[in-house]
């Protein structure tokens, strides 16, 4: 019970310190607004994003349609919210896969060294040799297009980042006296990693997760803009921007709405990541 209470208090303290910073508070507000809209779309509290109403096509923002309608009379607000939900779903799954796989590989490479380090670094360097978007395009086009394959493609692109983020600190930690002492005491490598190494690199990984979420959202939007993201007919922010290119002169809201959601998510997640980083930085006296 005491351990659970301590963990809960630590999480509460981290949240409080994050929101105490200006960047963390602004980032949380931006992300919170988008997440609320996405939840409303998922729970069916908004109009059907696929429902067409030709009689109301290209109607401007109004009380009935907050962000107006597109060329088929579909509600742009509902479509933007549904697109945000799709982007967040893909981004969260992609970053979760990348964080788990990349952190595990980086920890193994840094702690055990030898052939495991050489193998992991070899694969990582090969992946880093490709521009991220180009690699994501190649991977996404190689598989049948579903939201999960798009998430996996993005995860592969960002896994090497977590390898680098985890490996560096582990190289230093394995030489620390308290880690060396576990070998003398006869601890198994698994016990040493789970009790002494992973807790010390967790703050770095958490910060990288928040930053990678913004990159994943932007990558998914870019893939959708190029026709390789969220498969139709599901709404996608990138695809909405693509469709709005020919309408922007007569119906500016068709591009402004999805563009604003993308900006809010990317900027909000970056600011939130900055807030988390500052909150966990011991040099600020708040990382305890």
The pLDDT of residue 91:
94
In degrees and rounded to multiples of 5, residue 75 shows phi and psi of -70, 120
Contact of 160 with 127, CB cutoff 8 Å = yes
Q: Span 164-174, mean pLDDT?
A: 88
Q: At which residue do the structure tokens 């900027």 appear?
A: 267
pLDDT digits (tens, 9 = 90+) for 132-149: 888 898 888 888 888 899
pLDDT digits (tens, 9 = 90+) for 11-50: 667 778 888 888 889 999 999 999 999 999 999 999 999 9
How is the chain split into domains, by residue range? 2-284
Q: Taking 80 as the threshold, does the pLDDT of residue 202 lie above it? A: yes
Q: How far apart are CA 274 and CA 245, in angstroms?
A: 33
Q: Span 187-192, mean pLDDT?
A: 80
> What residues contact residue 264 under an 8 Å CB cut-off, 6+ apart?
30, 31, 33, 34
The pLDDT of residue 4:
40
C-alpha gyration radius of the chain? 22
pLDDT digits (tens, 9 = 90+) for 89-130: 999 999 999 999 999 999 999 888 888 889 999 999 999 888
Total-model pTM: 0.87
- Fold of domain 2-284: MetI-like fold (1.10.3720)
Q: At which residue do the structure tokens 């990288």 appear?
A: 208
The pLDDT of residue 2:
40
């Amino acid at each position: 019970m005491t351990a659970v209470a301590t963990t809960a208090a630590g999480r509460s303290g981290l949240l409080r310190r994050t929101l105490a910073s200006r960047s963390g508070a602004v980032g949380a507000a931006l992300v919170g607004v988008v997440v609320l809209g996405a939840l409303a779309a998922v729970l069916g509290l908004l109009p059907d994003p696929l429902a067409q109403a030709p009689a109301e096509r290209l109607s401007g923002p109004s009380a009935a349609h907050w962000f107006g309608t597109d060329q088929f009379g579909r509600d742009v607000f509902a479509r933007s919210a549904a697109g945000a939900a799709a982007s967040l779903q893909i981004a969260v799954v992609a970053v979760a896969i990348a964080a788990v796989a990349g952190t595990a590989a980086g920890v193994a490479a840094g702690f055990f060294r030898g052939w495991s380090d050489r193998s992991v670094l070899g694969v990582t360097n090969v992946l880093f040799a490709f521009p991220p978007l180009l690699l994501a395009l190649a991977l996404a086009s190689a598989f049948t297009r579903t939201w999960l394959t798009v998430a996996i493609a993005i995860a592969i692109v960002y896994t090497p980042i977590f390898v680098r983020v985890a490996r560096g600190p582990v190289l230093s930690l394995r030489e620390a006296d308290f880690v060396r002492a576990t070998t003398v005491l006869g601890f198994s490598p698994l016990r040493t990693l789970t009790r002494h190494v992973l807790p010390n690199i967790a703050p770095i990984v958490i910060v990288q997760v928040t930053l990678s979420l913004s990159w994943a959202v932007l990558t998914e939007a870019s893939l959708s803009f190029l026709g390789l993201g969220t498969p139709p007919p599901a709404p996608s922010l990138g695809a909405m921007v693509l469709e709005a290119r020919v309408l922007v002169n007569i119906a500016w809201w068709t591009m402004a709405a999805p563009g604003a959601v993308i900006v809010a998510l990317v900027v909000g997640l970056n600011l939130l990541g900055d807030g988390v980083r500052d909150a966990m930085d011991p040099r600020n006296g708040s990382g305890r």
